[in-house]
């Protein structure tokens, strides 16, 4: 979360032990990890959590890892090979409504090595230079 705040990132790309891309978490999904399950189920309860209590909830996160908080279902991972065009990346970003696209080496044997990340701001910057 500090990485996201300090660098003003639109989301995080989570990688596995061998550096392979695993999941993309938009910033709003990172915020979700701070919202207790009972509030996600019944949003009106958010109003009864006062600020000191919310602070305690956040302190309880110290030492917790992303792996503790990732969804257990199939992770969301918008990815493209490095030979894709700017228009292909724009189409994928628009369709998945993702603020990040992972650029991943082509590898027939599973998820390839992560080469980089393209944000919406990167892509717009490139397209505006045209």
The SS3 call for residue 68 is helix
Check residue 59 for interaction with a copy of itself (CB under 8 A): yes
Rounded CA gap, 43 and 117, in Å? Answer: 33
Do residues 21 and 6 touch, judged by C-beta distance below 8 A? Answer: no
Check residue 87 for interaction with a copy of itself (CB under 8 A): yes
Measured CA to CA in angstroms, residue 12 lies from 7, 8, 44, 71, 74 at distances of 11, 11, 29, 14, 17
10/111 with CB nearer a copy of itself: 10
Query: Backbone phi, then psi, for 117, in 5-degree steps?
Result: -135, 135
What residues between 62 and 81 interact with a copy of itself by CB under 8 A? none
20/90 with CB nearer a copy of itself: 90
The correct pick among 19, 37, 50, 63 for binding a copy of itself (CB under 8 A) is 50
The correct pick among 16, 28, 64, 116 for binding a copy of itself (CB under 8 A) is 28
What radius of gyration, in Å, describes the C-alpha atoms of the chain?
17
Residues that bind a copy of itself (CB under 8 A): 1-2, 4-5, 8-10, 26-32, 34-35, 39-40, 43, 46-47, 49-51, 54-59, 84-88, 90-99, 119-121, 123-125, 127-128, 130
């Amino acid at each position: 979360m500090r990485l996201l705040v300090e660098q003003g990132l639109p989301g995080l790309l989570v990688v596995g032990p061998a550096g392979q891309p695993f999941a993309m978490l938009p910033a709003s999904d990172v915020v979700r990890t701070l919202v207790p399950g009972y509030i996600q189920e019944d949003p009106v309860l958010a109003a009864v959590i006062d600020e000191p209590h919310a602070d305690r909830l956040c302190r309880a996160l110290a030492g917790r890892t992303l792996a503790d908080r990732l969804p257990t279902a199939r992770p969301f991972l918008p990815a493209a090979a490095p030979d894709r065009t700017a228009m292909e990346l724009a189409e994928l970003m628009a369709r998945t409504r993702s603020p990040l696209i992972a650029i991943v080496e082509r590898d027939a044997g599973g998820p390839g090595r992560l080469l980089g990340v393209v944000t919406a701001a990167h892509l717009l910057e490139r397209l505006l230079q045209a």
